[in-house]
Amino acid sequence: NAGVTQTPKFRILKIGQSMTLQCTQDMNHNYMYWYRQDPGMGLKLIYYSVGAGITDKGEVPNGYNVSRSTTEDFPLRLELAAPSQTSVYFCASKPRGGGYTFGSGTRLTVV
Amino acid sequence: KNEVEQSPQNLTAQEGEFITINCSYSVGISALHWLQQHPGGGIVSLFMLSSGKKKHGRLIATINIQEKHSSLHITASHPRDSAVYICAVSQYGNKLVFGAGTILRVKS
């Protein structure tokens, strides 16, 4: 049982480049989330999904897109990377009424 | 004012000491979560509480719904407990609101 798997663990992007952060869970959880964590700050919700085919914006969605074509996968897309998107990104999942399982994070630097 | 406030922000303890981290919140919640994050590491869920008290090993979490307050206690602290402890509340709608975290350092 792998839990929540995020790839890559580290990435350096140039301004204007695009990339997809991958997130997969094997626990059949309905709910999935993307958070960003900036130094000294609490986690901020970017996007979330309550099930396959359903996504919704969180607190800080600008510059990001998501899709949820399957229960297992919830990729996060950055279309035009900006220095303000330098952060650590965490994916999480939870079952209905249950606790959260977090991935190990992706450290992204935009230069 | 943040919806979830933690205190203290930083805490240094000697090995073996009893540690308390506090969390106050100002919104209606369906549950409160305590999370642990080691430096450069991922986030681990320690407890999910909606009432009363839970214990896991040397960790104890309590919540007082009327006072909108929770505490995380660590008994017989150890250097490996050094981490950031994060309080988060689930609002109705299955979204988390996070506190800023408490940085704990336990010295041997």
pLDDT of residue A98: 87
User: What are the tens digits of pLDDT across the range B13-62?
Assistant: 999 999 999 999 998 899 999 999 998 788 999 999 999 999 999 999 99
Dist CA B10 CA B85 (whole Å):
10
Rg (CA), chain A: 13
Dist CA A9 CA A110 (whole Å):
14
Whether A5 contacts chain B with CB within 8 A: no
Residue A81 Cα, gap to closest chain B Cα (Å): 23
Residue B101 Cα, gap to closest chain A Cα (Å): 7
Interface of A with B in 29-88 (CB under 8 A): 31, 33, 40-45, 48, 50, 58
Q: Facing residues of A108 across strands?
A: A11, A87
User: What are the tens digits of pLDDT across the range A21-72?
Assistant: 999 999 999 999 999 999 878 899 999 999 999 999 999 999 999 999 999 9
pLDDT of residue B96: 87
Q: Do A42 and B101 touch (CB under 8 A)?
A: yes
pLDDT of residue B93: 65
Dist CA A7 CA A25 (whole Å):
12
Comparing C-alpha atoms, which of B101, B70, B90 is closest to residue B8? Answer: B101
